[in-house]
C-alpha cells in the first residue's frame, strides 16, 4: 500500500506516502533521505524555511549517483517561505539552488501571508517588540498570481498551497487561472479539518496531510482508539495514524530521521470500515467537546480562518 499513488489535477501521479523533513537536523537529514529512497519512498517534502534543503539535496544526489533512484522517479516538493511570497520566483530559485535541482515536482505557498522581505532576518524578521514582522496589506491572491507564472518556466511541474482554510480557499479560487494541485494541511483524527478536505475534493485539490503523528514526539500514539486499532491489526499506533489518510484519498507525510522508523512507517495497513468509523467517531466526539488539537500554529498573529483558531 505504501507504493500507492494518487492523481493530481495536473495529471501527475503523487505518492500516497512521503518523507517529511521539517526539524530534520543537519547531520542526519542527508542519511534519512538516502535511507528513505532505498526503503522505497518516492516523495520528499522540503521547504526553504526548514533551513536544510542543501543537505536534503546532498541526499538526493547521493541516491541518484548510487543508482537507487532516478530524478524523474522522485516527487520533490518545496515551499515558498513567507518572506518570499512577494518574490516567488526568487524563493523557488533559492530552493532549487540549495537542493541542487533544476526543477521541483510541486511548489507550494507555505503560509498565506507576507513577512517583511526587508526585515531584520531572512526567514523570521521581527519587530522591536518581538512580534513577527508581517506586511498586513499583502493579499495572498497576489502571491498565487506569481505562482501561476512559475509553471511556464518549467522550474516546477505543479503549484499548490499549504495551510489554506476554507475561507482562504474561497477567496482564492474565483481568481485562480490554475487551480492549486494540492493543499497541504495539518490532518489527523484529532484535527480532521473535514470542511477543508471536502471543499478541496469538490475542486480537485489533493490533500497532503502533515503532522499525522501529532508532530514532534508523536503525541497521538497513546490515543485510545488508535491503540485499540493498532492492537487489533498487530501493528504500532504510528501505522494506524499514517494509514488513516489512504481511504481519505490523501497523501501523508511522515517525518523521521531514525532509520528503523523510516522503514517502519512504510508498513501501512488496510483499515476496515469499523476502524474508520472508530476514528471518525473519535473526531466527532473531540469536535463536540471542543477538544480538537492543532499541533502546528506558528505565532504569526494572523487569523487564517481555521474554525478551531479564529
Ligand atoms: N506545510 C506545513 O506548514 C507543514 C508541513 N509539515 C510537513 O509534514 C511533515 C510531517 O510532519 P511533522 O510535524 O514533522 O510530524 P510527524 O507527525 O511526522 O511526527 C514526527 C515525529 O514523530 C517521530 N516518529 C516518526 N515516526 C515514528 C515512529 N514510527 N515511531 C515513533 N516515533 C516516530 C519523529 O521522530 P524522529 O525523527 O526522531 O524519528 C518526530 O518526532 C514535516 O516533516 C513536513 O515535511 C509539517 C508541519 C507543517
Ligand atoms: O512546515 C512546518 C511549519 O509550518 C513551520 O515551517 C513553521 O511552523 C515555522 O517553523 C514557523 O515557526 O513559522
Residue 7 forms beta bridges with which residues? 13
C-alpha neighbours within 13 Å on the C-beta side of residue 264 = 14
Average pLDDT, the chain: 98
> Cell 519587530 appears where?
127
Backbone angles phi, psi at 5, to 5 degrees: -130, 160
Q: Report the residue among 41, 218, 244 best suited for mutation to probe ligand 1: largest number of ligand atoms under 8 A from its CB.
A: 218
pLDDT at 310 exceeding the cut of 80: no
CA distance 20 to 32: 10
Helix or strand (DSSP H, E) at 13: strand 13-15
**Which amino acid residue places its CA nearest to atom 42 of ligand 1?**
20
Query: CB of 306 closer than 6 A to ligand 2?
Result: no
Query: CB of 22 closer than 6 A to ligand 2?
Result: yes
Backbone angles phi, psi at 196, to 5 degrees: -75, -45
* pLDDT tens digits, 209-264: 999 999 999 999 999 999 999 999 999 999 999 999 999 999 999 999 999 999 99
**Which amino acid residue places its CA nearest to atom 6 of ligand 2?**
49
Show binding-site residues: 110
pLDDT at 2 exceeding the cut of 90: no
Question: Burial letters for 107-116: b for 16+ Cβ neighbours within 10 Å, e otherwise?
Answer: bbbbbbbbbb
Q: Residue 63: its pLDDT value, please?
A: 98
Backbone angles phi, psi at 17, to 5 degrees: -130, 135
**ipTM for this prediction:** 0.99
Q: Tell which phi-psi region holds residue 139, choosing left (phi > 0), alpha (psi between -120 and 50) or beta.
A: beta
CA distance 129 to 127: 5
CA distance 151 to 186: 26
**Which amino acid residue places its CA nearest to atom 10 of ligand 2?**
298
Whether the CB-CB separation of 76 and 20 falls below 8 Å is answered with: no
pTM here is 0.99
Whether the CB-CB separation of 83 and 122 falls below 8 Å is answered with: yes
Mean pLDDT along residues 140-167: 98
Query: CB of 47 closer than 6 A to ligand 2?
Result: yes
Whether the CB-CB separation of 2 and 266 falls below 8 Å is answered with: yes
Q: Residue 309: its pLDDT value, please?
A: 86
Amino acid at each position: 500500500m505504501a507504493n500507492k499513488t494518487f492523481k493530481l489535477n495536473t495529471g501527475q501521479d503523487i505518492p500516497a506516502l512521503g518523507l517529511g523533513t521539517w526539524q530534520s537536523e543537519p547531520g542526519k537529514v542527508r542519511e534519512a533521505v538516502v535511507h528513505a529512497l532505498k526503503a522505497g519512498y518516492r516523495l520528499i517534502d522540503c521547504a526553504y524555511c526548514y533551513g536544510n534543503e542543501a543537505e536534503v539535496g546532498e541526499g538526493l544526489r547521493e541516491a541518484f549517483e548510487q543508482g537507487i533512484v532516478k530524478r524523474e522517479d522522485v516527487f520533490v516538493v518545496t515551499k515558498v517561505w513567507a518572506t518570499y511570497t512577494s518574490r516567488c520566483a526568487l524563493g523557488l530559485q533559492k530552493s532549487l539552488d540549495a537542493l541542487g535541482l533544476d526543477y521541483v515536482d510541486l511548489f507550494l505557498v507555505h503560509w498565506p501571508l507576507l513577512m517583511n522581505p526587508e526585515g531584520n532576518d531572512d526567514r523570521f524578521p521581527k519587530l522591536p517588540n518581538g512580534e513577527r514582522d508581517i506586511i498586513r496589506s499583502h493579499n495572498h491572491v497576489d502571491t498565487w498570481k506569481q505562482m501561476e507564472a512559475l509553471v511556464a518556466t518549467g522550474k516546477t511541474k505543479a503549484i499548490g498551497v499549504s495551510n489554506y482554510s476554507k475561507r482562504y480557499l474561497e477567496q482564492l479560487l474565483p481568481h485562480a487561472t490554475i487551480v492549486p494541485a494540492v493543499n497541504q494541511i495539518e490532518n489527523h483524527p484529532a484535527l480532521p479539518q473535514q470542511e477543508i478536505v471536502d471543499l478541496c475534493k469538490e475542486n480537485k485539490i489533493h490533500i497532503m496531510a502533515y503532522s499525522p503523528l501529532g508532530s514532534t514526539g508523536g503525541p497521538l500514539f497513546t490515543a485510545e482508539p488508535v491503540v485499540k486499532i493498532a492492537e487489533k491489526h498487530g501493528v504500532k499506533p504510528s501505522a494506524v495514524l499514517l494509514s488513516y489518510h489512504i481511504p481519505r484519498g490523501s497523501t501523508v507525510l511522515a517525518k523521521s530521521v531514525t532509520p528503523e522508523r523510516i522503514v517502519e512507517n512504510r508498513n501501512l495497513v488496510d483499515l476496515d470500515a469499523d476502524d474508520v468509523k472508530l476514528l471518525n467517531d473519535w473526531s466527532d466526539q473531540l469536535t463536540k467537546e471542543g477538544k480538537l488539537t492543532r499541533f502546528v500554529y506558528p505565532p504569526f498573529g494572523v487569523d487564517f480562518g481555521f474554525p478551531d483558531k479564529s
